[in-house]
Amino acid sequence: MDYRVIVDSCGELTEEMKASGIFETASLSIQVDDDHIVDDETFDQAQFLKKVAASTNSPKSSCPSPEKYVNSYGCGASRVYAVTLSAELSGSYNSAVLGKNLYEEEYGKKDIHVFNSRSASVGETLIALKIQECEEAGMTFDQVVDTVEAYIAAQNTYFVLESLETLRKNGRLSGIKAMVASALNIKPVMGATDEGAIVQLGQARGMKKALVKMVDSVAANEKNAKNKILAISHCNAPERAEQVEKILLERMNVKKSFVIDTAGISSMYANDGGIIVVI
């Protein structure tokens, strides 16, 4: 293959994607107290969740360095695409763009494009798969970029978490009132704006009702689902995720669907039990 797709590690890669030789992960890192954790193939979700539960501090993340992206752009492929966590939520996009500029200053022009996912987790996964689909359809580099940017603009992200504390403490909920109803077991249903910022779509008492409300939102909003892939990621909640998938597939026809466990950065923000739906 004469192209490579770099996905920052907030985006999960399926086993098929890992085996393809097309996709590469740009690892972010996580700090939990004195523990520095690299979000790569060594990430242990169960151990990580235990560390977070035992800590009185909120975990923090660091994006890949521009140099990491420079090295990835230097692969043998003539066309390189990077997919990053929403620029509204992380510095990964800016780091990838700076890496592109540094690479071209050092080595000259190359077909490199950085996609701001305006999403996270499996939103990035679906964008990476769309790039692969376009490349395999024989599109030119510019056609791939235009088609994938249009795909991103039409993509929708929804999620329900057991707790928003990590997002709140890390400043990812700007413009959203802090949730003070935890004693009442209020679970907000969240989504993303067109720019990739987090927005509250609704709320319900208890996780079960919040998931129903999220499913209602997905089914109501997706009018052309038959041409889309439904992707669901979960943090240590496979049965919950599979139930959400089952209900959604009963209510809408999609091209295909899959469920995947969250990687490190997504696990950090989703917290134990979180569910993310992207279509």
Element (H, E) at 159: strand 157-160
Average pLDDT rounded to a whole number, residues 32-40: 96
Phi, psi of 62 (to 5 degrees): -130, 135
Contact 75, 111 (CB under 8 A): no
In degrees, to the nearest 5, what angle opens at C-alpha 47 toward C-alphas 45 and 210? Answer: 50
Contact 277, 159 (CB under 8 A): yes
Instruction: Output the pLDDT for position 8.
Output: 98
- Written as one string, the DSSP assignment of 52-116 is HHH-SS--EEEPPPHHHHHHHHTSS-SEEEEEES-TTT-SHHHHHHHHHHHHHHHH---EEEEEE
Per-residue tokens: 175: 């413009």
Element holding 23 (H helix, E strand): strand 23-26
- Give percent of the chain above pLDDT 70: 95
Q: Would strands 275-278 and 198-205 be described as parallel, antiparallel, or unpaired?
A: unpaired
Residue 187 sits at φ, ψ, to 5 deg, of: -115, 115
Which residue is it, tokens 């949730």?
A: 179
Give CA–CA dist 80/75, Å, rounded. 8
- In degrees, rounded to 5, the angle at the alpha carbon of residue 143 between the alpha carbons of residues 140 and 146 is 155
DSSP string, 185-201: TEEEEEEE-TTS-EEEE
| Per-residue pLDDT tens digits for 54-94 | 999 999 999 999 999 999 999 989 999 999 999 999 999 99
167-196 residue pLDDT tens: 877 777 765 554 544 556 888 899 998 999
Domains located in the chain, CATH noted: 3-28+63-154 (3.40.50.10440), 157-278 (3.30.1180.10)
Q: What is the pLDDT of residues 126-156, one digit of tens each?
A: 999 999 999 999 999 999 999 999 999 999 9
Which residue shows structure tokens 């994938």?
148
Integer Cα distance of 11 and 71 in angstroms? 19
pLDDT of residue 178: 47
